Amino acid sequence: MAQEVQQENKMGILPVPKLLFQMALPVIISMLIQALYNVVDSMFVAKINENALTAVSLVFPVQNLLIAISAGTGVGINSLLSRSLGAKEFKRANDAALNGIFLALISSVIFAVVGVLAAGPFFSFQTTDPEIHKYGVQYMTVICALCVGVFMQITFERLLQSTGKTLFTMISQGTGAIINIIFDPILIFGLFGFPEMGVIGAAVATVAGQIFGMFLGLFFNLKFNHELRLSLRGFRPRLSIIKGIYAVGVPSIIMQAIGSVMTFGMNKILMQFTSTAAAVFGVYFKLNSFVFMPIFGLNNAMVPIVAYNYGARQRKRIMHTIRLSIITAVCFMLVGIACFVFIPDVLLGIFEASENMLAIGVPALRTICISFVFAGPCIILSSVFQALGNGLYSLWISFARQLVVILPAAYILAQCFGLAAVWWSIPLAELVSISLTLLLFQRIYRQKLANL
C-alpha cells in the first residue's frame, strides 16, 4: 500500500530534474524508434520508385489528421486524469480513462469509414499521374481501414503516462515500431515466402505494428496501472467527463489537424512546380521527426507533471519543469540544425534521391531548419497551455503559424520568386509563432500561476 501511495505522489515529491528525465527518457527513446520506422518506411518505398515515395508523401496529411484526433483526445485524457490525481479525485480519474477509451473506439470507426470512401477523390484532386494515384489510394485505404490500432495504442499509452509509467509506453510503442521496421522490406518486396505487396505492404506493416502496440498497451494497463481500474462492466458514457476531455482535447485536435490542412496546401503549391518538390517536403517531415519526436516525448512527460502540480498548487515545481523542458528542447533543436546544415545530401541520400531531388532538397532543408531555433520553446509552452486547461491558446498559435502565415506566404513567394523561395515561409511562420506564444504565456502566468 505504501508503495502505491509513493507511486501516486511521485509527481509531487521527486526532484524535478530526476522526475522529468525519469519520465521523459523512455518516451523519448520510443519516439526516436517511432521516427526511425517513419524513415525506414519511406526508405523502402523509395526503392520502388520516386512516384511511390511521392504518393506516400501525399497521404501524410491524412495520417497526420488520424494522429491529430487520437493524440488530441489523448492530451485531453492525460490532462484531466493527471489533474484529478493531483487533486485526489480518484474516481474522476478512472472515469476519465474509461470515457477516453470509449471515445477512441468511436473515433476509429468513423475515421475508417470516411477515410476508405474518400481515398479515391482525395488523390484525384491532388494529381493526374495514374501511378501516383494508384499507389496513394492503396496506401491510404489500408491505413484508414485498420486505424483502430493507432487510436487505441495512443490512448493506452496516455493512460500509462498520466500515472507516471512511461517505461511501459516505451516498450509498447518501441515494439510496435520494430515490428513495422522488420515487416516493411518483407511485405514490400516479398521476402521469405511472403507475397510481394509493394506500397500495400508498407501500409500493412505500419498497421500491424500499431495493432501489436495496442494489445501490448492494454496488457500493461491491466497488469501494472493500479491507479486505474479498466473494467467496462456497468460502464456508461458520462457527458461531463467527455466535455472535460474535449475541453482540452478539441483545441489540440484542431491544432494538429491544421497541420494536415497546411501540408495539403503546401503539396498543392509544390506540385505546380514538380512532383519531386512534394516528395522533398514529405522527406523533410520524415527527417524532422528525429528532431521533433524527442521534444514531443519530453512534452508527454511534462504535461502530467505540470497538470499534477497545478492541481496540487505547487507553482515552484511547475516553473522548474517548464524551464528545464525549454532548455532541453533547445539542445535537441541545435543538433537538428547542425545535421540539416552540414549533411543534407547524406540525409536525402537515404531516400534514393535523384540529382533533381538533391538540387531541390539540399537548399530546402538548409532554409527550413532556421525555424528550429524558435520551434523548441514554442512546442513546450503550447503544451503548458494544454496542461493548465487552456488548450485554446495552443490552437490560436497553431492557426496563426500554419494557416495565417505559412500558406499565404508560401503562395506569394511561389508566385513572385519561384520554388526556392517557398521554403522561407516556414521560418517566417515560426518567428510569428514564438512571439505570440510568449505573449500568451505571460497572460496565463498572471492568471493561473502567479498566485498559487
Residue 7: pLDDT band by 50, 70, 90 thresholds? Answer: very low
| Top mean-pLDDT range of 69-73, 245-249, 341-345, 382-386 | 341-345
Residue 9: pLDDT band by 50, 70, 90 thresholds? Answer: low
In this model, does residue 6 exceed pLDDT 60? no
CA-to-CA distance for 207 and 66, rounded, in angstroms? 13
For the residues 291-304, what does the mean pLDDT come to?
Answer: 85
Among the listed residues 57, 124, 51, 61, the one whose alpha carbon sits nearest the alpha carbon of residue 265: 61
- Cell readout for 385 is 497551455
**What confidence score (pLDDT) does residue 163 get?**
78
Are 448 and 310 spatial neighbours (Cβ–Cβ below 8 Å)? yes
**What confidence score (pLDDT) does residue 5 get?**
39
* Between 111 and 164, the higher pLDDT residue: 111
In this model, does residue 22 exceed pLDDT 90? no
Are 187 and 201 spatial neighbours (Cβ–Cβ below 8 Å)? yes
Among the listed residues 76, 154, 150, 55, the one whose alpha carbon sits nearest the alpha carbon of residue 111: 150
| Residue 231 CA neighbour count, 13 Å, CB half | 6
**Torsion-angle region of 235 (φ positive above 0: left; ψ -120 to 50: alpha; else: beta):** beta
**What confidence score (pLDDT) does residue 364 get?**
96
Residue 238: pLDDT band by 50, 70, 90 thresholds? Answer: confident
* Between 374 and 161, the higher pLDDT residue: 374
In this model, does residue 2 exceed pLDDT 50? no
Of all residues in the chain, what percent carry a pLDDT higher than 70?
Answer: 97
Sorted by sequence, the CB contacts under 8 Å of residue 282 that are 6+ apart come out as: 42, 53, 54, 56, 57, 58, 60
**What confidence score (pLDDT) does residue 11 get?**
67
Of all residues in the chain, what percent carry a pLDDT higher than 90?
Answer: 47
**What confidence score (pLDDT) does residue 423 get?**
97
Query: CA of 330: how far to CAs of 320, 335, 436, in Å?
Result: 16, 9, 18
In this model, does residue 231 exceed pLDDT 80? no
* Between 157 and 9, the higher pLDDT residue: 157
CA-to-CA distance for 366 and 267, rounded, in angstroms? 19
In this model, does residue 79 exceed pLDDT 90? no
For the residues 287-300, what does the mean pLDDT come to?
Answer: 86
Per-residue pLDDT tens over the stretch 251-281:
778 877 888 889 999 999 999 999 899 999 9
In this model, does residue 434 exceed pLDDT 90? yes
CA-to-CA distance for 72 and 90, rounded, in angstroms? 23
Per-residue pLDDT tens over the stretch 91-100:
888 888 889 9
- Cell readout for 292 is 521533433
For the residues 363-388, what does the mean pLDDT come to?
Answer: 92
CA-to-CA distance for 23 and 11, rounded, in angstroms? 10
Among the listed residues 211, 64, 199, 214, the one whose alpha carbon sits nearest the alpha carbon of residue 146: 211
Among the listed residues 108, 102, 134, the one whose alpha carbon sits nearest the alpha carbon of residue 120: 134
Mean pLDDT in the chain? 87
- Residue 377 phi/psi, 5-degree rounding, is -60, -35
In this model, does residue 4 exceed pLDDT 70? no
Lowest mean pLDDT among 82-86, 109-113, 243-247, 266-270: 82-86
Per-residue pLDDT tens over the stretch 39-66:
888 888 988 988 999 999 899 889 888 9
Lowest mean pLDDT among 137-146, 198-207, 281-290, 390-399: 390-399
CA-to-CA distance for 432 and 268, rounded, in angstroms? 23
Sorted by sequence, the CB contacts under 8 Å of residue 254 that are 6+ apart come out as: 72, 395, 398, 399
